[in-house]
C-alpha cells in the first residue's frame, strides 16, 4: 500500500491495549462514539485514518494529549454498521508508521492529528555490501531461533500460514513487525516495537522481549515444580503417618505423640514463622512422632514445641504516634517531670518520621517513689503498646535472662522469652525494673547477659538457650529503672540513655497528692468523692510533719491510713462525710514525726552541716569534731568508708599547713587527739565530697568558733586547700531545701549545675561557690579566725594550674557524702 503524502491531517482511531503494525489487515469493533465519527469521516472523505493506541488503558475517553507518539496510517477497506446499536465493524489495512506531530479535539466531535510519515532506517539498504547482507542473515536467524524457543516454552503451535511467512526471506524490519503483530504481547511491549524506526534496533528489542518471556515462563515452571514436589512429599508423609497410626491401633499402643505431632505440624504450617524456625519445629515434630507415649523425652519435646508456638512470631501491635495526644495523656497521668515528658514526646515524633529505626534504650534514674514505674506504664499507654514488667532485683543466675538448655531436667525459657509470650506481640514496652540491683557471683553475670538484649544492633537475633532459635527483639521498646546509676556496669550503662527523675519539692507533692493520690486511695477504699475531704492545710501538714522522703510512697501510705480511718468512722456512725483538717492529723496518725527545722545557733563549736547522696535521695548529715588532750591520735567513727577516711586525713594535713592563719597552735597534731564522728553510725558512708565539711568542723573545734546553723556545704578538699566538684548535687540540694537550709556552699566548678536544679530550690536557697577553703570559712563560721601574729603576713599558697576532674566513680557504700 502506497501513500503519496509526507504530512497530513487525519482523523484518529484510538485503540485500547491494541497496536497495529504496517502490512497488517485487521477487523475491528468500534464502540466509542469519537472513534465511530472518526471512521465515518474517513469513509466519507475517501481518505485514510491514523490508528493510535492510548497511553492509559483505564481512560474511557482519552484526550488528544493522552495518545502514543507513533501509530500507523491505515485505509478502511470495509465498514458495516450494526442496526441494533451505534457500533461499527470495520476492516483496516495498515500502511506505514507515522509520528503524531499534534492532535486536537475537532469541535468536540472526534480527534484529528497532524501526522508525519517517516522513512525507516533500513539496516540492509546497502544490499550490495556483503557485510550488511551477513548482518541481515544473522539478525533474521537469531530472531527466528528465539521465536522458536518462545513457542516451545509456551507450548504454542502456530498456524501454517504464520510458519510459511516467517520462513520467507523477508527484510528484518518487516519480519519483526509481522512477528510482533501476531504475538500475544501486551500493548505496552508492542508499542515499544512500533516506536522504533531503526530496523536493527527494532529487532534487538523484539529479541530481548522474546528472551524475557522465555525466562519468566521457566521461572514459573520451576516454582510450580517445587510446589508439586512439596505437595507430593506431604501426601507421602500423610500416607505413612496413617499407616503408623493403623499399626499402633492393631498393636494396642497409644498414638498420642503421633496425634500431637500432626496437630503441631498443622499449626506450624498455618503460622507465619521465619524459615529457620519453621524448619526446626517441623524437624522437632518428626522426632516427637517417633517417641513412645509417657516417656520423659516426649513431654520435654512437647513442651518445647508448645513454648515456641506460644511466641508472637510476626504479630505486631499498631503503634500510636500523635504528639498532641501523647502530651495530654502524660500531663493527665503525671504532674511535673517536664524533662521526662519532653524526651518521650521527642521519641514519638522521631518514630512518626522514621518508623523503621530501632528504639534507644531509656534508663529512668531517680530515688524510690518518684514515679519511674508509673512513667514507663504511661509511655506504653501513650504509644498504644502492650506493657510488661520484669523485675531484675536480686537476679544472680544468667539463666534467668537467657534460659536453661533443654538437656537439664526442669529447663525453661528465660524471663525475656516468658515476658514476650505474656505480651503476645513483637513490639511491646518491657520495663526492666531495678537494673542496678543485679548481682554477679559464681553462678554467672546476668548484667553481661543483658548486653545483647539492650543493644539495638544485636537484639535483632536474641538467642535464648531453651528456644535455641534467633528471636527478633528489635521492635521492643526497653525502659529500665535504677536508683543509683553508678552501680550499673559501665558496658551496660553505655547502651542506655539516662533520664534523671529528681526528688519532689513540697509544692510538687501537694499537687500530686491533690490530683492523683487522694483520688486513687479513695477509690481503693470504696470512698466516693463526697464521703471524705482533706483540706489543703492538712495536705501541707501531712507532707511536712509525717513524711520526709524523695518520692511519695510514705505520703501515699499516710493517705491510705486516713482513708481507712475515715471509712471506719463512716461505718460506725451515722456520718455521711468526713472532713480532715490540719489539726485533726494527730488524732488520725498520731504525733507529728518531723519537726520543722529551726534556725537555732549551735552553742558548741565543731558541728557543721553536710550533705549526703544515697540510693534513696539526698540527706542532711551533721559532721562533729571534738578536740581532746592526747598524743595526736585521729579517731574516725560513724561507719566511714576508706575514701572518707582519706578525706579526713587530707583535711588535717591542710589545716596543719595553714594553722597560723587561723590562730591554731602549730603543735596541735602532737598534743591533741582529734575525733571525727558522722551521726547515724549504723548507716555506711563513703565518698570524698565531705572533705570541706570535715575541714570546717575541725577548724571550728580548734578555734572555738561555732559554724552557722543555716549553712550547709558539700565539696572535696585537696591537700592545698582547693575545692573540687562533687556529684549528686540535685539530690543534695533537695535535701537542703527540705531541711530549711538558707545558704549552701558548693564547689565553683559545680556552678553550671545550678541551672539544672528545681525552681523551688533556686528560689529558696542562696548558693555560694567556693574554689578554695578560705572562701568556705568566710561564709561558714560565725566570725573570721584571728592570726597568731599580725606582724608578718604568711605567704599564701598559690593555686596550682587547673586540672581536669572526672568526677566520683566506684563509690561502693550505701551513702555517698
| Catalytic annotation, residues | 689, 732
Beta strands in 187-292 (DSSP E): none
Please give the span between the terminal C-alpha atoms of the chain, in angstroms, as a whole number.
106
- 463 DSSP assignment: E
Residue 345: which of 382, 318, 388 has the closest Cα?
A: 382
Task: Round to whole Å and give the CA distance between 20 and 70.
Answer: 11
Give the count of beta carbons closer than 10 Å to the beta carbon of residue 354.
8
Judge contact between 30 and 81, C-beta under 8 A: no
Between vectors from CA 736 to CA 735 and to CA 741, what angle results, nearest 5°? 155
Residue 741's contacts (CB-CB under 8 Å, 6 or more residues apart) are 597, 609, 620, 710, 711, 712, 765
- For the beta sheet containing 496-500, the strands, ordered from the edge strand earlier in sequence to the opposite edge, are 387-391, 429-433, 477-482, 361-365, 496-500
Task: Round to whole Å and give the CA distance between 514 and 23.
Answer: 92
- 513 DSSP assignment: I
Between vectors from CA 128 to CA 122 and to CA 129, what angle results, nearest 5°? 80
Long-range contacts of 25-29 (CB under 8 A, 24+ apart): 25/77, 25/91, 25/92, 25/93, 25/94, 26/91, 26/92, 26/94, 27/89, 27/90, 27/91, 28/89, 28/90, 28/91, 28/92, 29/87, 29/88, 29/89
* HEC assignment per residue over 344-367: HHHHHHHHHHCCCCCCCEEEEECC
Residue 556: which of 507, 520, 508 has the closest Cα?
A: 520
Task: Round to whole Å and give the CA distance between 586 and 562.
Answer: 11
Judge contact between 726 and 712, C-beta under 8 A: no
Positive or negative, the Cα torsion across 765, 739, 746, 666?
A: positive
Task: Round to whole Å and give the CA distance between 444 and 650.
Answer: 40
CA distance to 312, 608, 699, per residue, from 688 (Å): 51, 16, 18
What's the farthest any 2 CA atoms get from each other in the chain?
Answer: 137
CA atoms within 13 A on the CB side of 403: 22
Supply the angle between the helices 172-182 and 187-194 in degrees, to the nearest 10: 170
Judge contact between 401 and 450, C-beta under 8 A: yes
How buried is residue 136: exposed, middle or buried, by Cβ count under 10 Å (0-12/13-18/19+)? Answer: buried
Q: How far is CA 741 from the centre of its chain?
A: 43
Judge contact between 397 and 385, C-beta under 8 A: no
Q: Please give the grid coordinates belonging to residue 303.
A: 513442651
CA distance to 9, 13, 48, 165, 739, per residue, from 74 (Å): 13, 10, 6, 22, 102
Beta strands in 31-131 (DSSP E): 49-53, 70-81, 88-106, 110-117
3-state secondary structure of 456: coil
DSSP-derived pairing of the beta strands 532-534 and 578-580: parallel
3-state secondary structure of 695: helix
Amino acid at each position: 500500500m502506497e501513500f503519496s503524502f509526507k504530512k497530513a491531517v487525519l482523523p484518529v482511531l484510538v485503540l485500547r491495549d491494541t497496536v497495529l503494525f504496517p502490512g497488517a489487515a485487521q477487523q475491528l469493533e468500534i464502540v466509542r462514539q469519537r472513534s465511530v465519527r472518526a471512521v465515518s469521516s474517513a469513509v466519507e472523505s475517501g481518505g485514510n485514518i491514523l490508528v493510535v493506541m492510548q497511553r492509559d488503558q483505564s481512560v474511557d475517553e482519552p484526550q488528544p494529549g493522552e495518545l502514543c507518539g507513533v501509530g500507523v496510517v491505515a485505509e478502511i477497506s470495509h465498514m458495516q454498521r450494526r442496526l441494533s446499536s451505534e457500533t461499527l465493524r470495520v476492516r483496516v489495512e495498515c500502511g506505514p508508521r507515522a509520528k503524531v506531530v499534534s492532535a486536537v479535539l475537532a469541535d468536540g466531535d472526534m480527534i484529528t492529528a497532524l501526522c508525519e510519515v517517516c522513512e525507516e532506517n533500513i539496516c540492509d539498504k546497502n544490499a550490495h555490501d556483503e557485510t550488511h547482507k551477513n548482518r541481515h542473515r544473522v539478525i533474521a536467524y537469531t530472531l527466528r531461533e528465539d521465536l522458536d524457543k518462545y513457542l516451545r516454552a509456551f507450548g504454542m503451535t502456530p498456524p501454517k500460514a504464520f510458519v510459511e511467512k516467517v520462513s520467507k526471506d523477508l527484510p528484518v524490519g518487516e519480519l519483526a513487525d509481522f512477528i510482533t503483530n501476531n504475538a500475544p504481547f501486551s500493548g505496552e511491549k508492542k508499542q515499544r516495537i512500533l516506536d522504533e524506526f531503526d530496523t536493527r534496533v527494532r529487532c534487538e528489542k523484539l529479541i530481548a522481549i522474546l528472551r524475557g518471556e522465555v525466562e519468566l515462563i521457566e521461572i514459573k515452571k520451576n516454582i510450580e515444580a517445587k510446589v508439586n514436589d512439596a505437595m507430593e512429599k506431604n501426601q507421602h508423609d500423610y500416607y505413612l503417618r496413617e499407616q503408623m497410626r493403623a499399626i499402633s491401633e492393631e498393636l494396642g499402643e497409644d498414638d498420642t505423640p503421633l496425634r500431637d505431632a500432626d496437630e503441631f505440624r498443622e499449626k506450624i504450617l498455618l503460622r507465619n514463622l521465619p524459615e529457620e524456625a519453621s524448619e526446626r519445629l517441623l524437624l522437632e515434630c518428626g522426632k516427637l512422632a517417633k517417641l513412645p507415649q509417657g516417656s520423659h523425652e516426649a513431654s520435654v519435646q512437647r513442651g518445647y514445641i508448645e513454648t515456641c508456638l506460644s511466641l508472637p512470631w510476626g504479630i505486631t501491635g499498631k503503634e500510636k504516634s500523635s504528639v498532641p495526644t501523647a502530651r495530654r495523656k502524660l500531663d493527665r497521668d503525671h504532674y511535673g517531670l517536664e524533662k521526662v515528658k519532653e524526651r518521650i514526646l521527642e521519641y514519638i515524633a522521631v518514630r512518626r518520621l522514621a518508623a523503621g529505626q530501632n528504639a534507644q534504650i531509656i534508663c529512668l534514674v531517680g530515688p524510690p517513689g518518684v514515679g519511674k514505674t508509673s512513667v514507663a506504664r504511661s509511655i506504653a499507654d501513650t504509644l498504644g503498646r502492650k506493657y510488661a514488667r520484669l523485675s531484675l532485683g536480686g537476679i544472680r543466675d544468667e539463666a534467668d535472662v537467657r534460659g536453661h538448655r533443654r538437656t537439664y531436667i526442669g529447663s525453661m525459657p528465660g524471663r525475656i522469652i516468658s515476658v514476650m509470650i505474656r505480651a503476645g506481640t513483637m513490639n511491646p514496652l518491657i520495663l526492666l525494673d531495678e537494673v542496678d540491683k543485679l548481682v554477679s557471683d559464681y553462678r554467672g553475670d546476668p548484667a553481661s547477659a543483658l548486653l545483647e538484649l539492650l543493644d539495638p544492633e544485636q537484639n535483632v537475633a536474641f538467642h535464648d538457650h531453651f528456644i535455641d532459635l534467633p528471636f527478633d527483639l528489635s521492635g521492643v521498646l526497653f525502659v529500665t529503672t535504677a536508683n543509683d546509676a553508678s552501680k550499673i556496669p559501665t558496658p551496660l550503662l553505655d547502651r542506655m540513655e539516662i533520664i534523671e527523675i529528681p526528688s519532689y519539692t513540697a509544692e510538687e507533692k501537694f499537687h500530686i497528692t491533690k490530683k492523683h493520690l487522694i483520688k486513687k486511695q479513695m477509690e481503693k477504699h470504696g470512698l466516693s468523692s463526697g464521703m471524705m475531704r482533706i483540706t489543703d492545710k492538712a495536705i501541707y501538714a501531712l507532707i511536712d510533719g509525717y513524711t520526709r522522703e524523695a518520692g511519695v510512697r510514705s505520703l501515699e501510705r499516710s493517705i491510705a491510713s486516713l482513708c481507712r480511718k475515715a471509712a471506719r468512722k463512716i461505718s460506725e456512725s451515722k456520718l455521711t462525710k468526713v472532713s480532715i483538717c490540719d489539726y485533726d492529723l494527730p488524732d488520725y496518725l498520731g504525733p507529728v514525726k518531723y519537726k520543722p527545722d529551726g534556725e537555732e545557733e549551735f552553742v558548741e563549736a565543731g558541728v557543721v552541716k553536710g550533705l549526703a547522696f544515697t540510693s534513696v535521695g539526698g540527706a542532711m548529715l551533721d559532721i562533729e569534731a571534738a578536740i581532746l588532750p592526747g598524743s595526736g591520735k585521729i579517731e574516725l567513727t560513724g561507719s566511714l568508708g576508706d575514701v572518707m577516711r582519706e578525706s579526713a586525713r587530707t583535711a588535717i594535713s591542710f589545716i596543719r599547713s595553714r594553722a597560723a592563719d587561723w590562730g591554731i597552735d602549730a603543735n596541735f597534731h602532737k598534743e591533741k587527739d582529734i575525733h571525727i564522728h558522722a551521726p547515724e553510725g549504723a548507716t555506711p558512708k563513703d565518698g570524698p565530697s565531705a572533705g570541706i565539711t570535715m575541714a570546717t568542723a575541725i577548724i571550728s573545734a580548734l578555734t572555738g568558733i561555732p559554724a552557722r546553723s543555716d549553712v550547709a556545704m558539700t565539696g572535696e578538699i585537696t591537700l592545698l586547700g582547693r575545692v573540687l566538684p562533687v556529684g549528686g548535687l540535685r539530690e543534695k540540694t533537695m535535701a537542703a531545701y527540705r531541711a530549711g537550709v538558707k545558704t549552701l556552699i558548693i564547689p565553683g566548678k559545680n556552678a553550671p549545675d545550678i541551672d539544672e536544679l528545681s525552681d523551688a530550690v533556686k528560689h529558696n536557697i542562696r548558693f555560694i561557690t567556693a574554689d578554695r577553703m578560705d572562701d568556705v570559712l568566710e561564709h561558714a563560721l560565725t566570725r573570721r579566725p584571728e592570726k597568731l601574729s599580725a606582724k608578718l603576713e604568711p605567704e599564701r599558697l598559690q593555686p596550682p594550674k587547673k586540672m581536669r576532674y572526672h568526677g566520683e566513680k566506684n563509690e561502693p557504700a550505701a551513702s555517698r557524702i
